[in-house]
Amino acid sequence: MDGKVSFFKRSAMFLYKQACIRGLPLFSSRQVEKDLAQLHPGENIPCIRTEYYVKKLSLTMAVLAVGLVFGVLAKINGGKEILLTEEGSITRGTYLEGEQQLRIKAQLKDKSQEFQVQVYPRLLSGEELEELSEAFAAQLPELIAGKNENLQQVTGDLDLTDMYAGFPFLVEWKSSRPDVLGSSGIVYPPEKAVEVQLTAVFTCQDYSGKAVLSVSVLPPVLTEEEQLYRDLERELLTSEEESRGEDSWKLPVQWNGDEIRWKQEAEDRSLLLWGAAAAVAALVYFLSDRDLHQQLERRKKCLKQEYPDLVHQLALYVGAGMTVRGAFQRIAADYERKREKLGKKLPAYEEILYTCRELQSGVSEGAAYEHFGRRTGRQEYIRLSTLLMQNLKRGNSALLERLREEADKAGEERLMQSRRLGEEAGTRLLVPMVLMLAVVMVMIMIPAFTTM
């Protein structure tokens, strides 16, 4: 397998180099280079581009090779199915091959018509049917014995079917003792050996034959424990029938001089329930941590998605002349109204609201902004809180400009993230496409092979 993969990779590398030498535009795209540069910042883009095109080309060559192999097999198999000779005759098969379906086309002057015809096997002559009948009757005891040694020591079911491989006859079975041996081959074990006459009537075309087989059905060989079970079962049935006119059924108290103690067996599912409860409890215990981690990851994703809009609003209010504290309070107030209206919580704005409540409770602005960044746990929010704290300590006059730069940067990062997700989705689609191709090839090849 590795050798095949390396072959496709070497072939793809050779084709890629030849295309680059001749300047073919097949492996050059500005958009692809731009996307690769964004996905692999700081890396050698020509090497990344070469690896990308070689991988894509090798995958394409592998798919084409698989299609070529299946196509050749279909072509060979289709050639084997040609039964129409150049003289215009169709070769019939034997009775072992059965009937076949053919598509033929009639060309008459400038018109053509297609037909789908059934080609039945050649009819057998009377002598051939007679010979096959004798051979079939001679092999019948062996064919129907099943797991039994022979028909004189039958303890298990027989193989009584309407067709047998190698013979064209349709068989109908009849039993002289259907209570012991059914016409389908099922054996009902008797108390003692029983002789059963099996009659097989087999037909083909206009020919009809008959064979009568003598079968000895023997009682099953039981172990001591199995025999005891059968005897006790018989005794219980007899006791139950005799006590049907009474109010209660008195179970047998002795068997062969030994005392019998009866006990009702109740179905106990407690162990199953305890085991299921323990398994569910363990599952809940371990999955709770995973669910918590997933919630944390979803919160981080929401914080990252909401960051650009939050910084834009903050820059807008500060640019309008508000203080940072006033901008926080205005954003929190707008969010509270939207939350009451829509009933949806946004993690970033919940943190803004919490920060405003800290400020109202007497926490200093610097400490509140620092807490704001730490609670989110995101690098961009920590960067924003640091910027706000520097503005309080040093009186940074370029706060508005820095906020606008941060907003532009956050917007670009969100755009790159969207592109990356789109590229990942496109890559995931390659697997279903290859699987669909394989399914189509299998759908084409299976009918072809089954008609061989």
At residue 147, the pLDDT reads 84
Two tokens, residue 10: 């070497």
Measured distance CA(328)–CA(388) in Å, rounded: 11
- Tokens 């755009």 belong to 415
Element at 100 (helix H, strand E):
strand 100-108
Q: Are 369 and 391 in contact (CB under 8 A)?
A: no
Q: Are 339 and 333 in contact (CB under 8 A)?
A: no
Q: What is the mean pLDDT of each run of 10 residues along the chain (452 residues)?
A: 61 74 64 58 67 73 72 60 59 68 69 72 82 88 87 87 86 89 85 88 88 88 78 83 83 83 72 74 62 74 86 87 89 89 86 89 89 84 86 73 81 77 73 82 75 59
Phi, psi of 211, deg, nearest 5: -140, 135
How many other CB atoms sit within 10 Å of the CB of residue 33?
A: 15
Two tokens, residue 291: 């669910």
At residue 107, the pLDDT reads 67
Two tokens, residue 109: 């002057």
At residue 343, the pLDDT reads 83
Non-local CB neighbours of 444 within 8 Å, separated by 6+ positions: 70, 74
The angle, 0 to 180 degrees and rounded to 10, between the axes of the packed helices 379-394 and 365-376 is 170
Task: State how beta strands 111-119 and 100-108 pair.
Answer: antiparallel
407: nearest Cα among 336, 341, 316, 328: 316
Beta bridge partners of 198: 175, 213
At residue 121, the pLDDT reads 74
Task: State how beta strands 207-217 and 194-204 pair.
Answer: antiparallel
Q: Are 198 and 173 in contact (CB under 8 A)?
A: yes
Beta bridge partners of 255: 258
At residue 291, the pLDDT reads 63
- b/e code 88-121 from CB counts within 10 Å (16+ = b): eeeeeeebeeeebeeeeeeeeeeeeeeeeeebee
CA distances from 182 to 86, 205, 256, 314 (A): 53, 27, 36, 90
At residue 330, the pLDDT reads 92
Measured distance CA(363)–CA(372) in Å, rounded: 12
